[in-house]
Chains A and B, each alone.
Chain A
């Protein structure tokens, strides 16, 4: 990419686009448009590729831009919710999606709870708990030390723990996750 080889951009896209897409789709949840945002992540990565000092860190480099785009999108949503004073907007597609599977009611509640986190906290939750990044990877993506990354993850987890405990449906799901196992498998 740095040498502007014609095949490089396509190769990087093919390699990382699915995981970036997944990160954005899962991180944003309902109403997400991950296709356009995924393209934006790569556009940013390609135009700033000269700032990548260590070619081996390409994955973290792309993920750091994905985290930036995800954070910005979450902030935009938060602002929209704040301005409309409506914390929860259910579209007709979403309503259908909710009604399709009872287990997805839990998922909808989870995203409601996630909406209460700050965009930065939610990005950390997505990268660590949904995407399963290791602490060194997370530290690299966030541009922090491993110790700081661990401290941030602990803080977000603690906060989410309290929020989940305060939500009867989520609290019940976490206490007895196997009750919904069949539903989850069906959904998968």
Chain B
């Protein structure tokens, strides 16, 4: 370093060097032994870490293998067997005279009626698909996460996650009847294109030719249908079944709404109300429903019209008193009717939108009457609101 240009701080170097003693021989020797000890200790620790790492890797590999094996086992299809019958080629079900039972490895089983015609379409790891072409069956599907069962009864599809029910499809009469003991199922098909969710304790009857869907509680009396004269053109119920809602409204308009509302029978009025509701024409729907109530008082259609009027008004004003009033009307006229649980549940929700306190009594009544109902959680939430 050039002395002339050297920074003045270099002056300190000599002072610093003179202040510190160099490493002595004894220090060097002791330091070497200490370093040996530290090196050995370090190598031991390193070996231990490597062993631990290898162990962790083995555990991770074992876990991964376990998961892979578990998944492959879980994804293998359910096993099944049939007693008092056989599963023929293409899954064709043949049942003995006294009926047979189809058992699945997850515990689900189907008791097949004697005259049943059906087919086991497919079996997967989380369920099965069956076709019921004609006959009756008692179905018991064990509830499991991701359970996915489908029963195709005639043109109807019954989706099941976990439920116990009796189902009958009569090909000749084109009638479906499903009596749900526990769980929930969803039925889709003609007349029920948006799907109907059934809850425990309900019976669904669909008469396709008559265009009639009835949901009632198990044990409630079934209203017999009047005999119908053969027709050449499609009835409004049939048009409704085919989803031709606008055609129904157009025909009513062509005949004159006043004429229709004054003279059409109960089924046509109900079909017109449904067609108008489905085509978002709530004014015509309300007129048809009111006409049905006025002209056929004391009938099941009139009672149902009260519930449907409640639905119409709830859509317009979700917390309105008119909707509440119609639900009350339905509940007073048909306390055990098909829509009783729905009506009480909706009444509770309408009132809750105005005041939770006011809905408490209705929630208590709902839980008492329908402890397993669709609005059970809503009722519980009203009684015990969730903590923020």
Which A residues contact B (CB, under 8 angstroms)?
A: 9-10, 13-14, 17-18, 21-22, 25-26, 29, 34-36, 38-39, 42-43, 46-47, 103-104, 106-107, 110, 125, 129-130, 132, 157-158, 160-161, 164, 170, 173-174, 177, 180, 184-185, 187-188
Contact = CB atoms under 8 A, between A and B. Distances in A.
Q: Interface residues of B: mostly helix, strand, loop or mixed?
A: helix
B45 to A, nearest CB: 11
A188 B18 CA distance: 5
Contacts of A42: 35
A43 B9 contact: no
B89 interface: no
B12, B23, B31, B39: which has the most chain A beta carbons within 10 Å?
A: B12
A17 B28 contact: yes
B32 A13 contact: yes
B15 A180 contact: yes
A157 B7 CA distance: 7
Interface in B6-55: 7-20, 22-23, 27-28, 30-32, 34-35, 38-39, 42
B10 A129 contact: yes
A107 B16 contact: yes
Given A174-B12, A187-B19, 13 more contacts: A9-B39, A18-B23, A21-B27, A22-B20, A22-B22, A107-B12, A107-B19, A110-B12, A110-B15, A129-B9, A129-B10, A161-B9, A187-B18
A177 B11 CA distance: 7
Contact-residue bracket for chain B: 20 to 34
Nearest to A158: B7
21 contacts: A13-B31, A13-B32, A13-B35, A14-B28, A17-B23, A18-B28, A21-B23, A21-B31, A22-B22, A34-B23, A47-B42, A157-B9, A158-B7, A161-B7, A170-B12, A173-B11, A174-B11, A180-B15, A184-B14, A187-B19, A188-B17
Contacts, number: 93
A184 B20 CA distance: 12
Q: What are the 9 tightest A-B residue pairs by CB atom distance, in nearest-first order?
A: A21-B23, A157-B7, A188-B18, A18-B23, A174-B8, A160-B9, A39-B35, A187-B18, A25-B20
Nearest to B10: A129
A107 B23 CA distance: 20
B19 A38 contact: no
Nearest to B30: A35
Contact of A184 (B10, B18, B32): B18
B16 A110 contact: yes
A43 B42 contact: yes
Nearest to B20: A25
A173 B224 CA distance: 121
B8 A161 contact: yes
Contacts of A161: 7-9
A177 B13 CA distance: 12
A72 B249 CA distance: 87
B383 to A, nearest CB: 56
Contacts of B38: 39, 43
Contacts of A17: 23, 28, 31-32
A116 B8 CA distance: 17
Contact of A39 (B8, B15, B20, B34): B34
A164 B35 CA distance: 39
B17 to A, nearest CB: 7
Nearest to A131: B13
A160 B18 contact: no
A66 to B, nearest CB: 13
A175 to B, nearest CB: 8
A16 B295 CA distance: 113
Nearest to A13: B32
A104 B14 CA distance: 12
A187 B13 CA distance: 14
A130 B13 contact: yes
Contacts of A38: 23, 31
B7 A160 contact: yes
A180 to B, nearest CB: 7
Given A13-B35, A164-B8, A174-B11, A104 B19 contact: yes
A26 B16 CA distance: 7
Nearest to B35: A39
A47 B31 CA distance: 17
A39 B32 CA distance: 8
B20 to A, nearest CB: 5
Nearest to A36: B34
Contacts of B8: 161, 164, 174
A156 to B, nearest CB: 9
Contacts of A170: 12
Contacts of B30: 35
Contacts of A110: 12, 15-16
Contacts of A36: 34
Most A Cβ at <10 Å: residue of B15, B22, B27, B39: B15
Nearest to A43: B38
Contact of B15 (A13, A22, A103): A103
Most buried by A among B19, B32, B34, B35: B19
